[in-house]
Amino acid sequence: MHLLALGLSHRTAPVELRETLAFGPEELPGVLARLRDEARVEEVALLSTCNRTELYVAHPVWPDPEVLIRSLAAQKRVDPENIRPYLYRREDLEAAAHLFRVAAGLDSMVLGETQVLGQVRDAYQAAAAAGTAGKVLSRLMTGALAAAKRAQTETGIGQNAVSVPYAAVELARKLFETLQGRVVMAIGAGETAKLTVRHLAAAGVGRIYVANRTLDRARELAAEVGGVPIPLEAIRQHLPEVDVVISSTGSPHPILRREDIQQALRARRGRPIFLFDIAVPRDIDPAAGQLEGVYLYDIDDLEQVVAANIEERAREARRAERLLEEELARFRAWLAVQDVVPTIRLLREKAEDIRQAELQKALRKLPGLDPHQRRVVEAMSAAIVNKLLNDPTQRLKALAEAGEADGAARLVTLLFDLEGPDVGTRALPLPARAERAAPPVGQG
């Protein structure tokens, strides 16, 4: 059985093109059925996210990628010539290695992100429901999910925030241990501030004040996160009750002075306050950071945290790669064994035919046997055949796992004079590195 992965992603195609080939969950049953029928392949799955669209195909002989490309493009009314230059292909174990890396977040725009794991699971479930995921793709995709889960649980690849909003939230969480019930104030409604407030709201904070020079913009963000809009002039009034401040205005001068923070601290009776100043020029007087109980981070501080976290994720990614190679080796061994299954099946079928013929001869010569005695004789003959075939079966599987399936299958076929379709197989070398890329479609 051959494996083929064919697709495009954020690494090869612009977002405008990726959008044209994005498929929603409701489209998948029809899309998968049409791909299977038009390309005449046994198994097909489709992974479609905002960053990638990838086909995974399993078939006894090499499927024609051009048919797959045309079928995929036709379902979105796209000219195949417009997408062909952006496509890549992976074959056999390279296809498996690619899916393992995708599921683990090693091929994502944000290294180690975990959302793609659920998307791979959805793609598998959609193919299974459509009846287009057979034995090979089922094993491939469940193997990828298991490998990705190991990478996430046994390494820190998904830990450590790698964006400024996430970094701010994680720092606040470390200071307060829990963000449940904490009071937040957003000053300004820029994009980074919006993202930070959304993450804080998702983390379960309590009241959220949103202050902005334009009150309508404050109301807009406050409505989205269940917050309270306030005019910019009211920030000092509410500051004593606030645990976390995110400030991102376009003011040329600081809008919170050291004295403002000091006054709020006295009212807070020693409770710490976390200040994220992500404005340029800065909104908060840097001298406020010298006050006891004040934790002040500006945009440079947060970007340094992000840079350090990205470096840490890269180190963890190298550990994850080694785990994926272990899981890929297991899949390779399983796939190799599948190529000798026809030989094993033919061998056992021939042995069973011989057993049944000889059993009937023996029973005709022993007409006086009662039903219990007949069952004993039949069970004995079955046990003899099973025990005789057990060692050859296990050795054949072991040789297949060692990459010697071709010769072993042909030898068994010759020795036992087996009849049936070609039971030879192909050697499947394990790639030296799981991330090694196959050539693009146009070159492969």
Q: Do 135 and 73 share a structural domain?
A: yes
Q: Do 291 and 357 share a structural domain?
A: no
pTM: 0.69
- Report phi then psi at 337, rounded to 5: -65, -35
pLDDT at 175: 86
pLDDT at 420: 58
Q: Do 176 and 260 share a structural domain?
A: yes
DSSP letter for each residue of 299-364:
HHHHHHHHHHHHHHHHHHHHHHHHHHHHHHHHHHHHHHHHTTHHHHHHHHHHHHHHHHHHHHHHHH
pLDDT by residue, tens only, the chain of 444 residues: 899 999 999 999 999 999 999 999 999 999 999 999 999 999 999 999 989 999 999 998 988 999 999 999 999 999 999 999 999 999 999 999 999 999 999 998 888 888 899 999 999 999 999 999 999 999 999 999 999 999 999 998 887 767 888 888 888 988 888 899 999 999 997 788 888 899 899 989 999 999 998 889 899 999 999 999 999 999 999 999 999 999 989 888 999 999 999 999 999 988 999 999 998 889 999 999 999 999 999 989 988 988 888 888 888 999 999 999 999 999 988 888 877 888 888 889 989 999 999 999 999 999 989 999 999 999 999 999 999 999 888 888 887 777 776 787 888 888 888 875 444 444 334 443 333 344 445 444
Q: Do 124 and 64 share a structural domain?
A: yes
Q: Do 140 and 179 share a structural domain?
A: no
Amino acid identity of residue 322, one-letter, is R
- On whether residue 134 sits in a domain, the answer given is yes
Q: Do 193 and 106 share a structural domain?
A: no
* Residue 23 structural domain: 2-154
Sequence ranges of the binding site for substrate: 49-52, 108, 113-115, 119
Domain final residue, candidates 126, 154, 182: 154
What CATH number does residue 81 fall under? 3.30.460.30
Q: Do 221 and 287 share a structural domain?
A: yes
Q: Do 131 and 20 share a structural domain?
A: yes
- On whether residue 330 sits in a domain, the answer given is no
Domain final residue, candidates 98, 127, 154: 154
Q: Residue 12 and residue 437: Cα distance in Å, rounded?
A: 13
Amino acid identity of residue 295, one-letter, is Y
Q: Residue 161 and residue 133: Cα distance in Å, rounded?
A: 36
Sequence ranges of the binding site: 49-52, 108, 113-115, 119, 188-193
- Report phi then psi at 433, rounded to 5: -130, 135
- On whether residue 111 sits in a domain, the answer given is yes
Sequence ranges of the binding site for NADP(+): 188-193
- On whether residue 169 sits in a domain, the answer given is yes
- On whether residue 437 sits in a domain, the answer given is no
Is 50 tagged catalytic?
Answer: yes
pLDDT at 436: 37
Q: Do 147 and 248 share a structural domain?
A: no
- On whether residue 326 sits in a domain, the answer given is no
- On whether residue 323 sits in a domain, the answer given is no
What CATH number does residue 192 fall under? 3.40.50.720
User: How many structural domains comprise the chain?
Assistant: 3
Q: Do 296 and 230 share a structural domain?
A: yes
Domain final residue, candidates 98, 124, 154: 154
Q: Do 108 and 134 share a structural domain?
A: yes
pLDDT at 441: 56
pLDDT at 393: 85
Q: Do 186 and 261 share a structural domain?
A: yes
Per the residue annotation, which of 15, 50, 223, 388 is the catalytic one? 50
- On whether residue 292 sits in a domain, the answer given is yes
pLDDT at 189: 77
